[in-house]
Chains A and B, each alone.
Chain A
Amino acid sequence: MTAPNRIVFDHVSVSFRTESGTLPVVDDVSFTVKDREFVSLVGPSGCGKTTMLNILAGFVLPTSGSVTLDGAPIAGPSPDRGVIFQEYGVFPWLTVEANIEFGLRLRANLKSVTERTNVCDRYLKLMGLSEFRKAYPRTLSGGMRQRLALARAYAVAPQFLLMDEPFGALDAQTRTAMQDLLLEVLQKEGKTVVMITHSVEEAIYLSSRVVVVSARPSRVRCIVEIPFPYPRTESLHEKPEFLQLRSRIRDLVMLEYAAQEQQTRDAAPH
């Protein structure tokens, strides 16, 4: 009955070597992500959460422990894991259309011209960018660039979507619209998603589970199941259960922020 585990973090620790010694950023983290789950990591800023996402993306190796994808260790970046970076990284020298088709011109997922056009048309439409297919990114708004990054990631048909504060740079209205668009797209083409966010509200609204992560080094404080069924709509935000869950998780996160502040104060030179 239960879906299989697709991502398994098993006692994962990461430390970086710095000039003043080793700096632990992730400490003994274990959690799993099942097929088609949407898991959010929330917690104080610091490099821990991003490092966890970078392990999944294939940019960083754990110092100890293991991270497996469908049972196999991660060897490096691959088009089966789409990554949405906070700063989007849309290619400024390519038109909207060429940005979406970028992945489909690579040997790893080479497609014919007709297929490319079809895929491109589909995501232009889905992301509401059809009018801008020949435009360069400099003419697009932040929300549109975000949609373009999502379309480009979707075009190579990844099974996983890894997002590092994808909506962090957007204004409140655009952010809400993008959250709904993401839910809508995921409803149509399901992915297994891991997202980092600072917004507890956003984490609850989008996720099936929320992992609360501690201040540096990152440890898993607790994992909260979000019981609301998909498809979700904005009215969810006003439900008492939502509000209860929000204050519970917010309290947990605030404790971690306080801990982090204490750390910073202790580390400050006297």
Chain B
Amino acid sequence: MISASSYKKGLALLLPWAAVVAIWTLVHYSGLVKPTLVPTPAQVTVRFWQLLSNGSLPLDMLISSRRVLTGVALGTLLAVPTGFLLGWYKSVHFFADPLVNFFRALPPIALIPLVVVYFGIGETAKVVVLFYAAFFSGVIVMYEGISQISPIYIRVARTLGATDGEIFRRVIVPLSLPHILTAVRVELGVVWATLVASELIAAQNGLGALIQNASAFFQLDVIYLGIICIGLIALAMDLTLRKIARRFLNWQERISS
């Protein structure tokens, strides 16, 4: 019974992916586009094994993941306290909100020339771009979340005798956790999307560099492979975060499953 239902569930999970691969294959053979412009899934798979066995693909994945995680970690570290200040103090919000929205609207790729001038072309420059993307997307989520915290819980805690410190530890922190996790999820999405741009900065390795180098040599299968890898790692990270959220936030009324 259980195995049958989990089998069905597995099938339902695989179905959309199978459909994408099927459409992709169809497009290749349909004659609508030149077959040389769309590699087959098989060609990409062959390329995948090749780059996997010579060790370059795992290294690229590792380096890109590290950059993304560093950017997200630094971004979150700053976005959480900033979001608190914005969400908590109306005056801070009044002054800082236009600024936050101004900087948030700038595409990180437009900042790359400046980043190169101020931070060079090394690892720092790439992380700075990712940090920028992470911070401004995270701060909005944190701010929105914190300003939605109902003051009733704080009032209740006060009537029970809680001090300011106790209210922070026992009320604000648990109520903020879901927003921090959402912020990290949003940041991960934005930062993976920014990765290729950040690796425009003279990157020798990483998935973005892989894609750009491949484009210089017109290796379409490698480009496809790089894109798929980025998508899959981003998906895996998101699923992991959701698992963590379910584990620690099972008190919430509604959890995206």
A: residues with CB less than 8 A from B are 57-59, 76-79, 81-83, 85, 87, 89, 91-94, 102-103, 105-109, 136-138, 152-153, 156
A106→B155 contact, CB < 8 A? no
Contact A79 B174 (CB under 8 A): no
Check B163 for interface membership: any CB of A closer than 8 A.
yes
Q: Which residues does chain A contribute within 8 Å of B157, judged by CB atoms?
A: 102
B159 interface contact, C-beta 8 A: yes
State the CA gap A156–B160 with chains docked (Å).
Answer: 7
Our pick among B161, B171, B174 for the contact of A108 (Cβ within 8 Å) is B161
Known: A83-B159, A106-B160, A108-B162. A89 touches B251 (CB 8 A): no
B153 in the interface, Cβ–Cβ < 8 Å?
A: yes
Task: Verify if B66 is at the interface (C-beta below 8 Å from A).
Answer: no
B250 adjacent to A136 (CB under 8 Å) = yes
Please name all residues of chain B whose beta carbon is closer than 8 Å to the beta carbon of A85 when the two chains form the complex. Answer: 152, 155-156
B161 touches which one: A79, A94, A137 (CB < 8 A)? A79
- Whether the Cβ atoms of B160 and A103 lie closer than 8 Å is yes
Whether, in the assembled complex, B170 has its beta carbon less than 8 Å from a beta carbon of chain A, the answer is: yes
Q: Shortest beta-carbon distance, B251 to chain A, in Å?
A: 5
Q: How far is the CB of A119 from chain B (nearest CB, A)?
A: 13
CB distance from A160 to the nearest CB of B (A): 10
Number of A-B contacts (CB under 8 A): 76
- Given contacts A91-B171, A102-B170, are A81 and B159 in contact (CB under 8 A)? yes
Closest to A110 in B: B161
If A85-B155, A106-B166, A107-B166 touch, whether A92 touches B161 (CB-CB below 8 Å) is: no
14 A-B residue pairs with CB within 8 Å: A58-B159, A77-B158, A83-B159, A87-B152, A89-B153, A91-B171, A92-B253, A93-B175, A93-B249, A94-B174, A106-B163, A107-B163, A108-B161, A138-B253
Q: Which residues does chain B contribute within 8 Å of A82, judged by CB atoms? A: 159-160
Closest chain B CB from A16 CB (angstroms): 17
Chain A residues closer than 8 Å to B6, beta-carbon distance: none
User: In the complex, given contacts A83-B156, A83-B159, what are 6 additional A-B residue pairs having Cβ atoms less than 8 angstroms apart?
Assistant: A58-B159, A106-B166, A108-B160, A108-B162, A109-B161, A136-B250
CB distance from A76 to the nearest CB of B (A): 8
Contact A57 B159, beta carbon cutoff 8 Å: yes
**Contacts of A78 on B, CB cut-off 8 Å?**
159, 161
* Residue B252 at the chain A interface, CB threshold 8 Å: yes
Decide: B160 and A79 in contact? CB cutoff 8 A: yes
Which A residues are in CB contact (< 8 Å) with B249?
A: 93
Q: List, in ascending order, chain B residues with CB within 8 A of A108's CB.
A: 160-163
Question: What is the bound-complex CA distance between A93 and B250, given in angstroms?
Answer: 8
Enumerate the 5 nearest inter-chain pairs by beta-carbon distance, A residue then B residue, closest first. A108-B161, A79-B161, A103-B160, A89-B156, A89-B152
Chain A residues with CB under 8 Å of B153's CB are 89, 91
What are the residues of chain A within 8 A of B174 when measuring CB–CB? 91, 93-94
| Assembly CA distance A91 to B156 (angstroms) | 9
A59 contacts B155, C-beta separation under 8 Å: yes
Question: Residue-by-residue, is B142-170 near A (CB-CB < 8 Å gives 1, otherwise 0)?
Answer: 00000000101101111111110010001
Return chain A residues, CB-CB under 8 Å to B175: 93
| Closest chain A residue, CB of each to CB of B166 | A106
The one of A76, A94, A102, A137 in contact with B160, judged by C-beta atoms closer than 8 angstroms, is A102
Contacts of A83 in B (CB 8 A): 155-156, 159
Contacts of A59 in B (CB 8 A): 155, 158
A212 to B249 alpha-carbon distance, docked (Å): 45
Q: Which A residue's beta carbon lies closest to that of B163?
A: A107
| Interface set, chain B 11-47, CB cutoff 8 A to A | none
Query: In whole angstroms, how far apart are the Cα atoms of A93 and B174 in the complex?
Result: 7
CA distance A105 to B159 in the complex (A): 14
Whether B162 pairs with A89 at a CB distance below 8 angstroms is no
